[in-house]
């Protein structure tokens, strides 16, 4: 294999362009020439030490020879195995993404409210090509090399569209599943469009059902919120040490719109999440939160950019990491306030707890302010458990292991509290409790059946 991991994908597209384009909507194909040119200019994927990639080597992440489902062969997957857990059930309208193929459940098809569409992008492109053409690729066009590579190779994806004024009260859910028996790469796209005054909640879960196979997920999400729209978006990653993930999320917020975003990584191999959120009109608000629990040699990198382009907008960032064993983490958060964005309120907090002397954390909180009359702040800390608190709990008869777990649960409580959906809040709290207790089971390992079903 060529030492430049990008070359193998450019060669792959060059050799299979006709097959890739023939099995994708024109809305995807029109984006590929610009993506190809951007990749050739970049010459390589980012490496550790590059700007914004201080601790994550994307070239190494993409270097293995992963198989890509160019011919759109239906992926073998035990969907039922990903619908089981031993935590409080959450009733959702669900779609499953097997590899990179969207499969709506029968429940979703029967119960989706009027004015709400959750479907494959290929189907959406056939039914309403003008909608997909208007939005797909608009935010990600200037993305970095991993984003451009996703654009070059993507053949389908998922569309969530909520019509003007529609309040989707029941949460929507996407479950991304890996189950192939050979090393595989899934190229996933998600497009979310909420029209004026619409609202919805979306939960996205990443799972790998096999721990003995190497997987790579390349994911790009674009979110458009019209004036007065509100979206709660929660992502939960529970994969395996042999699963890598490169995910980029872009969001454009119009006047008085609201985005609540929570990203949680409980188990993974190597994960890179990047967020680019733009507040374009007065009154827009973005609340971005995330947490990471890392152990063994797990690596998780979160890179957040929040740009205030208009006055009277508000944003907050809260990210926390607990790292044990040889785990490593990275956080880079940038708040940018443009000229004319007066009366901005923007705050950023990163707190990290190292439970092992071998664990490492790299943090870069940043502010760029180009106007007056703003209230902005940021801060970052990295430390260990409070020995006095631990001693106090042990003197009250609490075993050390239990005391440590209780302190770590308390450390993560305010991140969990950013999840506004009560049932999801409880589910996330118990998943974190289970993870901190050392229980590494994935969703497919337990015997309890969820209320969700394919019927």
Beta bridge partners of 223: 192, 251
Judged on CB neighbours under 10 Å (0-12, 13-18, 19+), 443 is buried
Give the torsion through C-alpha atoms of 429, 435, 440, 443, to 10 deg: 10
Is the pLDDT confidence value at 2 over 50?
no
Q: What percent of the chain has pLDDT over 90?
A: 85
Tell me the per-residue pLDDT of 257-316, one tens digit each, with 9 for 90 and over: 999 999 999 999 999 999 999 999 999 999 999 999 999 999 999 999 999 999 999 999
Lowest mean pLDDT among 2-6, 28-32, 204-208, 387-391: 2-6
Q: Residue 448: which pLDDT band, with cuts at 50, 70 and 90?
A: very low
For residue 408, what are its two tokens?
């770590």
Q: What per-residue string of b and e applies to 141-173 under the rule 16 or more CB within 10 Å gives b?
A: eebbbbbbbbbbbbbbbbbbbbbeebebeebbb
- 321-352 pLDDT, tens digit per residue, is 999 999 999 999 999 999 999 999 999 999 99
Tell me the Cα Rg of the chain.
21
Residue 364 has pLDDT above 90, yes or no: yes
Q: Where are the domains of the chain?
A: 5-445
What values do phi and psi take at 355, rounded to 5? -90, 0
Provide the pLDDT for residue 254. 98
pLDDT at 83 over 80: no
State the pLDDT at residue 391. 87
Whether the per-residue pLDDT at 317 is higher than 50: the answer is yes
In this prediction the pTM is: 0.95
Tokens 């990471």 map to which residue?
Answer: 292
pLDDT of res. 447: 35
**Calpha distance 95→93 (Å, rounded):** 7
Question: What is the average per-residue pLDDT within 237-250?
Answer: 97
Question: Region 26-45: what's the mean pLDDT?
Answer: 97
Mean pLDDT of 231-256: 97
pLDDT per position as a tens digit, 385-436 = 989 999 899 999 999 889 999 999 999 999 999 998 878 889 899 999 999 9
- 86-119 tens-digit pLDDT: 445 577 888 999 999 999 988 899 999 999 999 9
pLDDT score of 451 more than 90: no
pLDDT of 366: 96
Q: What is the pLDDT of residue 455?
A: 29
Sign of CA dihedral 54, 189, 224, 104: negative
User: By the 8 A CB rule, do 308 and 337 touch?
Assistant: yes
Residues for the chain: how many in total? 455
Give me the pLDDT at residue 76, please.
66
Please report which confidence band the pLDDT of residue 444 belongs to, taking 50, 70 and 90 as the band edges: very low
pLDDT band at 123 (very low <50, low <70, confident <90, very high): very high
Tell me the average pLDDT across 132-148: 98
Q: What pLDDT is stored for residue 75 in this prediction?
A: 73
Q: Could you tell me the pLDDT band of residue 175, with boundaries at 50, 70 and 90?
A: very high
């Amino acid at each position: 294999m060529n030492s430049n991991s990008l070359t193998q994908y450019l060669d792959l597209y060059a050799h299979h362009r006709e097959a890739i384009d023939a099995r994708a909507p024109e809305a995807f194909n029109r984006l590929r020439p610009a993506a190809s040119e951007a990749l050739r200019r970049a010459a390589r994927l980012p490496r550790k030490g590059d700007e914004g990639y201080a601790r994550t080597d994307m070239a190494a992440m993409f270097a293995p020879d992963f198989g890509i489902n160019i011919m759109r062969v239906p992926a073998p997957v035990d969907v039922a195995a990903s619908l089981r857990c031993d935590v409080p059930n959450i009733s959702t309208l669900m779609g499953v993404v097997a590899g990179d193929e969207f499969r709506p459940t029968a429940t979703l098809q029967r119960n989706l409210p009027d004015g709400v569409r959750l479907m494959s992008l290929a189907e959406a492109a056939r039914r309403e090509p003008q909608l997909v053409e208007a939005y797909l690729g608009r935010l990600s066009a200037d993305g970095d090399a991993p984003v451009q590579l996703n654009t070059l190779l993507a053949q389908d994806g998922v569309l969530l569209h909520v019509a003007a004024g529609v309040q989707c009260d029941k949460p929507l859910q996407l479950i991304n599943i890996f189950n192939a028996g050979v090393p595989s790469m899934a190229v996933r796209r998600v497009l979310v469009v909420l029209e004026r005054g619409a609202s919805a909640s979306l939960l996205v879960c990443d799972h790998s059902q096999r721990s003995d196979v190497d997987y790579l997920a390349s994911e790009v999400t674009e979110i458009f919120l019209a004036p007065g729209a509100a979206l709660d978006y929660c992502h939960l990653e529970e994969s395996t040490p042999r699963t890598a993930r490169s995910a980029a999320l872009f969001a454009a917020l119009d006047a008085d719109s609201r985005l609540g975003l929570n990203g949680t990584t409980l188990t993974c191999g190597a994960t890179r999440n990047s967020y680019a959120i733009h507040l374009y009109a007065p009154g827009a608000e973005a609340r971005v939160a995330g947490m990471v629990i890392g152990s063994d040699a797990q690596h998780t990198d979160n890179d957040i950019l929040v740009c205030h382009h208009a006055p009277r907008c508000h944003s907050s960032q809260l990210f926390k990491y607990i790292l044990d064993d040889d785990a490593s983490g990275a956080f880079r958060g940038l708040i940018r306030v443009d000229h004319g964005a007066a009366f901005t309120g923007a705050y950023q907090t990163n707190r990290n707890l190292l439970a092992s002397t071998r664990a490492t954390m790299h943090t870069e909180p940043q502010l760029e302010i180009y106007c007056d009359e703003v209230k902005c702040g940021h801060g970052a800390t990295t430390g260990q458990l409070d020995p006095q608190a631990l001693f106090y709990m042990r003197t009250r008869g609490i075993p050390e292991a239990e005391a440590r777990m209780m302190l770590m649960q308390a450390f993560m409580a305010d991140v969990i509290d950013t999840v506004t959906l009560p049932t999801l809040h409880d589910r996330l709290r118990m998943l974190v409790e289970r993870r901190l207790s050392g229980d590494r089971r994935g969703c497919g390992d337990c015997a309890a059946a969820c209320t969700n079903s394919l019927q």
